[in-house]
């Protein structure tokens, strides 16, 4: 079921993306030779309005074939830049067609987010790194014998409040790490905790024998506080969703850059900055249990991510093609088909290789 939900969200995002390219191309009087829902072998086709509409076997994408984007064959059998359709447009027309796909994804994300916000409000998350939140306590462990319980918030160690941030060897870390350090040192300690809204002290002695653990699991971020801010109506939701989309752009670009650097340094180590198809299917399973609003929020995030990713200036993506169009405008002439083909091939190979390592990271998470 989760795979079907993920595929449905993905295919809606892809079809809408390609419809954006199709619609603006037709507005610019550029023919669209084919529009395919799905990839791979063609299962069915029908011709309408000068376009061959296709249903293909693999529900993992789609494409449009826009006239004038592929090179032509000259009299000698070689390649030459196209001279009709997309190629004859001025730069602003080319950019409009290329930009339309990502813009459609971003607009759908805003519409979906506005619906979620107006129905459920906006979830706001505050992280307090000055508190160690215990998620579980192992039965029969030293932690349980000392008196700790799941849900306790450790706020002080041996009479000293945990700080927001701690610095060790010049490297910053969350303040709650001081509580972990105390457990590693062993000995007698007094931890102050908040339990059921009240503060209390727990004094205990722990000197770990080889292989013995204290017996707690804790949030890696500190205390995470989630609140909901109501939204008056759908119009207010649209405004909030638009703000979210704008602020998401630099965060997504930064996250993508960090993920690329991380993968280049250690290709087989999963990155926390990107989620591949395996992780997305697992998320789809979780949101499906939570209800329709979480599914719609997940769909919005996928559309927003797809729109931003396609705008990156990577050859073979829409952003890369926009960059090519702008460079050609400055040069005053098109690139040779061999040049453009090689650059796009390199960009495509980079994206595929990146996806392979992301999937490897996804699979490796399953065993953790």
Contacts of 131 (CB under 8 A, 6+ apart): 153, 154, 155, 162, 176, 194, 222, 223
Residue 229 is encoded by which pair of tokens?
């801010």
The crossing angle, in degrees rounded to 10, of helices 292-311 and 234-265 is: 60
- DSSP bridge pairs for 199: 194
Tell me the catalytic residues. 18
> pLDDT by residue for the chain (368 residues), tens digit each?
678 898 999 999 999 999 999 999 999 999 999 999 999 999 999 999 899 999 999 888 899 999 998 888 877 777 888 888 999 999 999 999 999 999 999 999 999 999 999 998 988 777 788 888 898 999 999 999 999 999 899 999 999 999 988 888 888 888 888 998 898 888 999 999 999 989 999 999 998 777 778 899 887 777 777 778 888 899 999 999 999 999 988 888 887 888 777 777 776 665 655 677 777 878 888 888 888 999 999 999 999 999 999 999 988 899 999 999 999 999 888 888 888 888 889 988 888 887 777 777 666 655 44
Number of neighbours of residue 269 by Cβ within 10 angstroms: 12
Q: Are residues 132 and 165 in the same domain?
A: yes
Domain containing residue 131: CATH number: 2.30.42.10
**Inside any domain, residue 84:** no
The DSSP-derived string for 214-272 is: --EEE-TTSEEEEEEE---SHHHHHHHHHHHHHHHHHHHHHHHHHHHHHHHH-TTSPPS
Confidence (pTM): 0.75
Domain that holds residue 265: 89-121+231-366
Q: Are residues 306 and 357 in the same domain?
A: yes
How far is the first Cα of the chain from the last one, in angstroms, to the nearest whole number? Answer: 23
The crossing angle, in degrees rounded to 10, of helices 337-366 and 234-265 is: 90
Residue with tokens 């303040």: 175
Nearest alpha-carbon partner for 273 in 260, 288, 292: 260
Contacts of 249 (CB under 8 A, 6+ apart): 308
Q: What is the rounded distance in angstroms from the CA atom of residue 90 to the CA atom of residue 98?
A: 13
Q: Are residues 272 and 297 in the same domain?
A: yes
Q: Are residues 236 and 351 in the same domain?
A: yes
Q: Are residues 308 and 251 in the same domain?
A: yes
Q: Are residues 145 and 292 in the same domain?
A: no
Q: Are residues 350 and 239 in the same domain?
A: yes
Q: Are residues 210 and 255 in the same domain?
A: no
Q: Are residues 358 and 216 in the same domain?
A: no
**Inside any domain, residue 76:** no
């Amino acid at each position: 079921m989760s795979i079907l939900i993920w595929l449905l969200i993905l295919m809606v995002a892809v079809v809408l993306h390609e419809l954006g390219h199709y619609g603006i191309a037709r507005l610019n009087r550029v023919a669209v030779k084919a529009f395919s829902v799905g990839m791979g072998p063609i299962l069915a086709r029908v011709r309408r309005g000068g376009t061959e509409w296709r249903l293909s076997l693999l529900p993992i994408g789609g494409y449009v074939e826009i006239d004038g984007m592929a090179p032509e064959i000259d009299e000698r059998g070689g390649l030459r830049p196209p001279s009709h359709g997309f190629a004859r447009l001025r730069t602003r027309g080319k950019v409009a067609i290329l930009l339309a796909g990502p813009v459609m994804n971003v607009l759908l994300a805003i519409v979906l987010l506005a619906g979620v916000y107006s129905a459920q409000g906006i979830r706001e998350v505050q992280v307090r790194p000055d508190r160690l939140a215990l998620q579980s306590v192992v039965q029969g462990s030293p932690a349980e014998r000392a008196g700790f319980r799941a849900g306790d918030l450790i706020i002080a160690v041996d009479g000293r409040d945990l700080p927001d941030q701690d610095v060790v060897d010049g490297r910053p870390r969350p303040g709650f790490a001081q509580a972990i350090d105390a457990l590693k040192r062993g000995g007698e300690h007094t931890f102050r905790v908040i339990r059921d809204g009240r503060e209390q002290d727990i004094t205990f002695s722990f000197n770990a024998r080889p292989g013995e653990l204290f017996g707690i699991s804790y949030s890696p971020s500190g205390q995470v506080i989630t609140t909901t801010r109501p939204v008056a109506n759908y119009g207010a939701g649209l405004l909030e969703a638009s703000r979210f989309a704008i602020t998401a752009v630099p965060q997504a670009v930064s996250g993508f850059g960090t993920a690329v650097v991380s993968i280049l340094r250690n290709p087989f180590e999963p990155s926390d900055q990107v989620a591949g198809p395996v992780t997305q299917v697992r998320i789809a399973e979780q949101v499906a249990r939570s209800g329709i609003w979480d599914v719609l929020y997940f769909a919005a995030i996928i559309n927003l991510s797809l729109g931003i990713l396609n705008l990156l200036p990577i050859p073979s993506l829409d952003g890369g093609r926009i960059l090519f169009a702008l460079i050609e405008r400055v040069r005053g002439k098109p690139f040779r088909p061999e040049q453009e083909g090689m650059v796009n091939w390199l960009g495509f190979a980079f994206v595929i290789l990146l996806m392979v390592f992301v999937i490897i990271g996804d699979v490796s998470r399953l065993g953790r």
